[in-house]
């Protein structure tokens, strides 16, 4: 089981922009790796990088949305990730809301020099249903290169606004098992990575009121 230890980064205490870091234990990471491999293989999911943020000579993106809810291979992944994210949100004390609806799901295999161009998943502060719901993005690092070139760190960076709308840059060097959670309107990307496999499992969720 994951513990409830999280690290919260934000530009100031009043900002709506934040990033939560939670770290999976080794068993949880292995479970997600194996479950994801089974899902891709048994559902015969093909790579599609067309018009996506991932860039590089060698990279693969597998869209999981149509399989994550409706297959025996996908459901355990979704159930586990929802549990991890809701535990992290509760521990952060940033919100009492929970995720339960997935909006998008995908996994990416990056190799030497692959990176993500800066992008966001929704317009800033987009709200649904009179402000009761908004988007949460999740990136889980299942595998990272074992040797890191200092000039190709593969860091994830994000642009966080404070309450005065001044911008600050958040940067994180990913380790295996890292889970990064942030509002979907935040612009983010990655720097080019070192040689070797970097595999991420990614979700967009709708953050709902905690209703009975």
Residue 109: helix, strand or coil by DSSP?
Answer: strand
Which letter does DSSP use for residue 191 in this model? P
Query: pLDDT, tens digit, for every residue of 43-102?
Result: 999 988 776 777 777 888 999 999 998 789 999 999 999 999 999 999 999 988 899 889
In order of their start, the domains of the chain are: 6-208 (2.60.120.620)
pTM of the predicted model, to two decimals? 0.91
Q: How far apart are CA 128 and CA 103, in angstroms?
A: 13
pLDDT band at 212 (very low <50, low <70, confident <90, very high): very low
User: Of 153, 175, 39, 50, whose CA–CA distance to 107 is shortest?
Assistant: 39
Element (H, E) at 26: helix 26-43
Neighbours of 124 (CB within 10 A): 14
**pLDDT tens-digit readout, 142-192:** 999 887 888 888 899 999 998 888 999 999 999 999 999 999 999 999 998
Angle among Cα 199, 207, 171 to the nearest 5 degrees reads 45
Q: Are strands 59-63 and 18-23 parallel, antiparallel or unpaired?
A: unpaired
d(CA 129, CA 79): 25
Do 64 and 81 meet the contact criterion of CB atoms below 8 Å apart?
Answer: no
């Amino acid at each position: 089981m994951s513990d409830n230890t999280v690290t919260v980064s934000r530009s100031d205490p009043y900002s709506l922009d934040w990033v939560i870091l939670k770290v999976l234990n080794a068993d949880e990471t292995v479970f997600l790796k194996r479950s994801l491999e089974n899902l891709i293989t048994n559902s015969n999911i093909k790579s599609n990088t067309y018009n996506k943020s991932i860039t590089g000579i060698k990279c693969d993106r597998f869209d999981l949305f149509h399989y994550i809810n409706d297959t025996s291979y996908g459901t355990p992944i979704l159930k586990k990730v929802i549990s991890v994210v809701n535990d992290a949100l509760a521990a952060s004390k940033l919100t009492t809301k929970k995720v339960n609806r997935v909006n998008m799901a995908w996994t990416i295999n990056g190799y030497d020099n692959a990176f993500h161009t800066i992008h966001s998943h929704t317009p800033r502060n987009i709200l649904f249903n009179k402000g009761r719901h908004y988007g949460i993005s999740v990136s889980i690092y299942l595998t990272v290169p074992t040797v890191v070139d200092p000039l190709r760190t593969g860091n994830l960076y994000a642009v966080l606004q404070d309450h005065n709308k001044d911008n600050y840059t958040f940067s994180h060097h990913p380790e295996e098992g890292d889970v990064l959670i942030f509002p979907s309107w935040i612009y983010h990307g990655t720097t080019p990575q070192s040689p070797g496999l970097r595999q991420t499992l990614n979700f967009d969720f709708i953050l709902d009121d905690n209703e009975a």
